[in-house]
Amino acid sequence: MTELKGSIVNRTLAVAAGGTFLVLVAFTTPLASLADTAETLHSDPGGQAWILSSMSVGLAVALLVSGAVADDHGRRKVFVAGTVLLALTSVLAAVTPDTLVLVIARIGQGIGGAAVLSCSLGCIAAEFPAGPRRAHATGVWGASVGAGIAVGPVVMGLLAVAGSWRAGYWLLAGFAAVLAVVARLTLTEERADRPRPVDVTGAVLLGAGLVALLSALVEGRQDWGRPVVTGLFAAAAVLLAAFVLWERRARAPMLALGLFRRPEFVASVVAGTATGVGIIALMSFTPTFFQRAFHYTTLDAALLLLAWSATSAVVALLARRLPAGWSARARIVAGLIVIAAGQLMLTGLDTGTSALDLLPGLLVAGVGSGVLNAALGQIAVTSVPPGKASVGSGANNTARYVGAALGITIVAVIAAHADRAALIAGWDTAAVVTAALSVAGALLVAATGVKLRVRVKS
């Protein structure tokens, strides 16, 4: 019986990590294939911005909703539905005739990916009790994040060399379909003893508010003064304020606002935001920077980015070897500080230097990201009451991807210049700004009540 239980637990971890890996591969797909995709679909700069950002919209809109539904009505059911949607929308992306259809497909990938991400940590929390085994499991989950970011651009870079960016979406569709079958056969169903009704009003208000906010950030990159951008920001403010008011009065709120009285939950949300607005934003621009400033091929840029992403995957696996006295919040603070140090090491380039000069900074940032990702997975599920792990995961990841959308906009405004010298100077500024945001995140997490003293066994 013990061996059977252990086998089920290990399969659950494999499926949860595999799903997370696949979602991150999908998320990073356009980073290495944007130029070829834009050429095929005749995408203008605005369309290219939407290709890059549309999956973030789907993720941000659906993460919290899918987490709440999963906790109440069944994690396996929501996970499988997410993988099926990811497969179908990947097929749509593979056969897309134009930019608009690809953007719609990418939003759909985000919605499906949100279901997978929110349920993956929920499934881990249900099978692994708090302690060393859960720390190991969340480390594996964190490694799958780094591995997905590492593999996605490289695979698309290889396919771009072969002249077939559409093949990447076909591969995603195939793997997602297989994962759906495996998850249906492997995962045990976990749901609340007394499921609550779905908070439809809250879901609509939050979803519409985040769509308006992220759309404003994407459209604003073209011209911040346009009335449509102002209108979108105003709509976002009204809708998100209405969401907060509704959640305060709802009998079965999607997000219990009382969670924000928990220091660990606040730390989880702040850390997710800092991760997105800091390192994810800068690394999302890195392949474009390598190609434009140093004339790297798509594949070369993806391979250099491995210095960060692969390092983060390895370190996340090893994070469980850190002293047991270091809390998840303390590791988050340490991870963000190390990331900031790595970001600062990415500065100082000029037209006479090489992109290889960025290698030490990428490695250091990768170490910090590995520690951070493992700790984020842990705190996302421990910061909420038992049975609400998917909501905790959804809130953490929503903060991450909203932060990423904001950060990518900041980096693009600062660094996206046609002139090479201006581009490199803009990169320096963007690296400093995102490093400052990482430090600010570390300080805010520390301010939630983190005890940074390490308990040493006598």
- Regarding whether 226 and 104 lie in a shared domain, the answer is no
Please identify, among 220, 237, 253, the residue that sits at the C-terminal boundary of a domain: 253
Rg (CA), the chain: 21
In this prediction, residues 315-341 reach a mean pLDDT of 88
| Number of domains making up the chain | 2
Q: Are residues 324 and 410 in the same domain?
A: yes
Both tokens of residue 369?
A: 């990201």
Residues of the domain holding 144 = 2-188+254-447
pLDDT digit string, tens, across residues 251-262: 888 888 888 888
161 and 224 both lie in a single domain = no
Q: Which two tokens stand for residue 303?
A: 């391979």
241 has a pLDDT exceeding 90? yes
Task: Give dist(CA 156, CA 50) in Å, integer.
Answer: 18
Are residues 203 and 235 both part of a single domain?
yes
> Which CATH number goes with the domain that contains 419?
1.20.1250.20
Collapsing DSSP states into helix, strand and coil, what is residue 196?
Answer: coil
Average pLDDT (136-164) is 85
In sequence order, the 6+-apart residues with CB closer than 8 A to the CB of 227 are none
Note whether 179 and 325 are same-domain residues.
yes
For residue 260, tell me if it sits in a domain: yes
Using an 8 Å Cβ cutoff, are 305 and 282 in contact? no
Q: Nearest 10 degrees: CA dihedral of 426, 429, 434, 437?
A: -140
Same domain, 405 and 437: yes
Spatial separation of the C-alpha atoms in residues 367 and 379, rounded to whole Å: 19
Give yes or no for a contact between 269 and 256, defined as CB atoms under 8 angstroms apart. Answer: no
CA-nearest of 300, 281, 282, 280 to 290 is 300
197: alpha, beta or left? (left if phi > 0; alpha if psi -120 to 50): beta
Alpha-carbon distance of 435 to 278, in angstroms, equals 7
pLDDT at 186 over 50: yes
pLDDT of res. 192:
63
Cα(110)–Cα(89) distance, integer angstroms: 9
Query: Are residues 336 and 404 part of one domain?
Result: yes
State the Cα–Cα distance between residues 67 and 72, nearest whole angstrom.
9
Contact 23/113 with Cβ under 8 angstroms?
Answer: yes
Same domain, 289 and 219: no
Residue 62 lies in a domain: yes
331 shares a domain with 273: yes
Q: Are residues 73 and 154 in the same domain?
A: yes
Tokens of residue 429, six digits: 């500024």
Please check the confidence at residue 55 and state whether its pLDDT lies above 60. yes
Instruction: Check residue 455 and give its pLDDT.
Output: 44
Q: Is residue 226, in this structure, part of any structural domain at all?
A: yes
Tell the residue number behind the tokens 């771009």, with chain if given. Answer: 160
Same domain? 30 vs 109 = yes
**Structure letter (DSSP) for residue 188:** P
Cα–Cα separations (whole angstroms), residue 229 to 45, 219, 223, 314, 414: 16, 6, 8, 41, 19
pTM of the model: 0.87
Q: Answer yes or no: is 290 within a domain.
A: yes
Residue 40 inside a domain? The answer is yes
Task: Write down the pLDDT at residue 208.
Answer: 93
State which of 253, 273, 298 marks the end of a domain.
Answer: 253
C-alpha–C-alpha distance, residues 304 and 365, integer Å:
13
User: Among all chains, which residue has been given the structure tokens 């011209």?
Assistant: 223
Scanning 319-358, the segments in alpha helix (DSSP H) are: 328-345
Q: Average the pLDDT over 125-135 and give the result.
A: 79
What mean pLDDT is predicted for residues 81-100? Answer: 95
User: pLDDT (tens digit, 9 = 90+) per residue, 342-366?
Assistant: 999 999 888 777 778 889 999 999 9
Average pLDDT, the chain: 87
- Does residue 273 register a pLDDT over 70? yes
Look at residues 211, 237, 253 and tell me which one is the last residue of a structural domain: 253
Question: Within a domain: residue 47?
Answer: yes
Residues 30 and 160 in one domain: yes
pLDDT in the model for residue 1: 45
Calpha distance 69→199 (Å, rounded): 9
- Tell me if 193 is assigned to some domain: no
Residue 456 covered by a domain = no
